[in-house]
């Protein structure tokens, strides 16, 4: 019985490949190293969407269309916004996205790309008693997300956030992408499919890990002894957030891509001392895990340096999973369209191991 479906192939895809032994991520024929820090998010959206929408425009036009979609989403969710801050920031974003039309066209897809950025910034501002900032349709997506959050966006921070969105845009058949494909296979529409992905991403074993990474770093800083703190966690059966992966037996290549972005930011703001501390914690965690779990190679995953990067660009830890969703939306939508185009209804079997009914003579 494949508890957790390890090694089960549930889809053929042209979108991305995760090599967990070599530590490589390929996205539509490009290595992560080719894309991260070099391609803009809108270009990667185009790369992933290519072939799945008849009316897909070129890069420049697509960037403009995403800008227009941000404005459209803002107008649609505005009447709801005052009610959403009562929810936590992730649930508020999900609730706002749930009111979007449930079609399968490019306009539907672009609204779903735009919505996490628009809703996260607006809800964070409302939570601080400030008025949401209207999107600027001419700005680039990452820069506008930061501007909607803080009123301004430095080019360095916008580039860092853009690199993050690119780095997490797609990653094989992870739990949230599988959930998205299951719903897409029923022909339910893109919004329904992406809501399924959002539900799966939220959990701490998947996209909910980076907020707890910050809590861990703060707790270790307060304790003053990383090895003792981490060993104590393991002794109490806790997992070390930002470490371990179902597929990677080596270091997640996205960890180094994101660390490089944080290092670049460190030269122009206060991030360098945080990075130096995080590197020490990372080494201590790897040492503790090697001793505690010698049977399994547990290495740094994407979430460890995600936490540092998103903290450095100005997001509070409660919103880290929202920003992850903003990047991953591109992959989810492409997978949903691919499933609709090439797949069938996903309907596996379970094996009944419960009690049998009494046999009536």
Asked if 205 touches ligand ACO (CB under 6 A), the answer is yes
Asked if 170 touches ligand ACO (CB under 6 A), the answer is no
CB of 299 to ligand ACO, least distance (A): 9
Stretch of residues binding ligand ACO (CB under 6 A), selected from 98-106, 117-125, 159-167, 206-214: 206-214
How far lies 158's CA from each of 44, 98, 112, 148, 246, in Å?
Answer: 16, 27, 20, 12, 31
Q: How many residues bind ligand ACO (CB under 6 A)?
A: 21
311 catalytically annotated: no
Asked if 245 touches ligand ACO (CB under 6 A), the answer is yes
Q: Which of 293, 318, 343, 346 binds ligand ACO (CB under 6 A)?
A: 293
- For the chain, give the secondary structure using H, E and C: CCCCCCCCCCCCCCCEEEECCCCEEEECCEEHHHHCCCCCHHHHHHHHHCCCCCCCCCHHHHHHHHHHHHHHHHHHHHHHHCCHHHCCHHHHHHHHHHCCCCCCCHHHHHHHHHHHHHHHHHHHHHHCCCCCCCCCCCCCHHHHHHHHHHCCCCHHHHHHHHHHHHHCCCCCCCHHHHHHHHHHCCCCCHHHHHHHHHHHHCCCCCCCCHHHHHHHHHHHHHHCCHHHHHHHHHHCCCCCCCECCCCCCCCCHHHHHHHHHHHHHHCCCCHHHHHHHHHHHHHHHHHHHHHHCCCCCCCECHHHHHHHHHHHHCCCHHHHHHHHHHHHHHHHHHHHHHHHHHCCCCCCCCCCCCCCCCCCC
Asked if 140 touches ligand ACO (CB under 6 A), the answer is no
Asked if 90 touches ligand ACO (CB under 6 A), the answer is no
Q: Which residue of the set 141, 171, 245, 335 is catalytic?
A: 245
CB of 192 to ligand ACO, least distance (A): 22
Asked if 207 touches ligand ACO (CB under 6 A), the answer is yes
Asked if 206 touches ligand ACO (CB under 6 A), the answer is yes
Asked if 239 touches ligand ACO (CB under 6 A), the answer is yes
CB of 39 to ligand ACO, least distance (A): 20
**Residue number, 121 or 213, with CB nearest to ligand ACO:** 213
Asked if 251 touches ligand ACO (CB under 6 A), the answer is no
Asked if 301 touches ligand ACO (CB under 6 A), the answer is yes
Q: Which residue of the set 303, 311, 335, 338 is catalytic?
A: 303
Q: Measured at CB, which residue is nearest to ligand ACO? A: 244
282 catalytically annotated: no
Given a contact cutoff of 8 angstroms between Cβ atoms, the answer to whether 117 and 203 are in contact is no
Asked if 243 touches ligand ACO (CB under 6 A), the answer is yes
Q: Which of 67, 242, 253, 327 binds ligand ACO (CB under 6 A)?
A: 242
Stretch of residues binding ligand ACO (CB under 6 A), selected from 16-24, 32-40, 103-111, 243-251: 243-251
Binding stretches for ligand ACO (CB under 6 A): 4, 174, 204-207, 209, 239-246, 293, 296, 298, 301-303
Task: List active site positions.
Answer: 245, 303
């Amino acid at each position: 019985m494949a508890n957790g479906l390890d090694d089960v192939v549930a889809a053929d895809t042209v979108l991305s490949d995760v090599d967990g032994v070599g530590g490589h991520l390929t996205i539509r024929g490009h290595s992560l190293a080719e894309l991260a820090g070099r391609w803009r998010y809108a270009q990667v959206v185009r790369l992933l969407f290519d072939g799945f929408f008849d009316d897909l425009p070129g890069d420049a036009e697509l960037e403009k269309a995403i800008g227009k979609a941000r404005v459209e989403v803002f107008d649609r969710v505005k009447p709801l916004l005052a009610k959403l801050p009562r929810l936590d920031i992730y649930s508020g974003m999900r609730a706002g996205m749930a009111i979007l039309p449930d079609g399968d066209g490019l306009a539907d897809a672009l609204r779903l790309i735009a919505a996490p950025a628009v809703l996260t910034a607006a809800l964070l501002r409302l939570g601080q008693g400030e008025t949401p900032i209207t999107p600027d349709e001419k700005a680039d997506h990452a820069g506008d997300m930061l501007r909607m959050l803080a009123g301004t966006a430095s080019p360095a921070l916008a580039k860092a956030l853009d690199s993050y969105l690119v780095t997490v845009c797609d990653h094989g058949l992870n739990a949230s992408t599988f959930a998205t494909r299951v719903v897409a296979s029923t022909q339910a529409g893109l919004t329904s499919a992406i809501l399924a992905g959002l539900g799966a991403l939220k959990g701490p074993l998947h996209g909910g890990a980076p907020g707890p990474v910050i809590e861990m770093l703060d707790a270790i800083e307060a304790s003053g002894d990383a090895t003792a703190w981490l060993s104590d966690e393991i002794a109490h059966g806790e997992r070390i957030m930002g470490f371990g992966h179902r597929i990677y037996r080596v270091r997640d290549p996205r960890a180094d891509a994101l660390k490089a972005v944080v290092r670049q930011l460190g030269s122009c703001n206060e991030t360098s001392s945080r990075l130096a501390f995080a590197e020490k914690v990372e080494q201590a965690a790897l040492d503790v895990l090697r001793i505690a779990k010698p049977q399994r190679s547990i290495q740094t995953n994407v979430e460890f340096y995600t936490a540092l990067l998103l903290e450095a660009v100005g997001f509070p830890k409660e919103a880290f999973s929202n920003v992850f969703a903003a990047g991953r939306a591109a992959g989810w939508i492409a997978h949903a369209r691919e499933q609709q185009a090439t797949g069938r209804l996903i309907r596996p079997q379970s094996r009944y191991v419960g009690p049998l009914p009494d046999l009536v003579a």
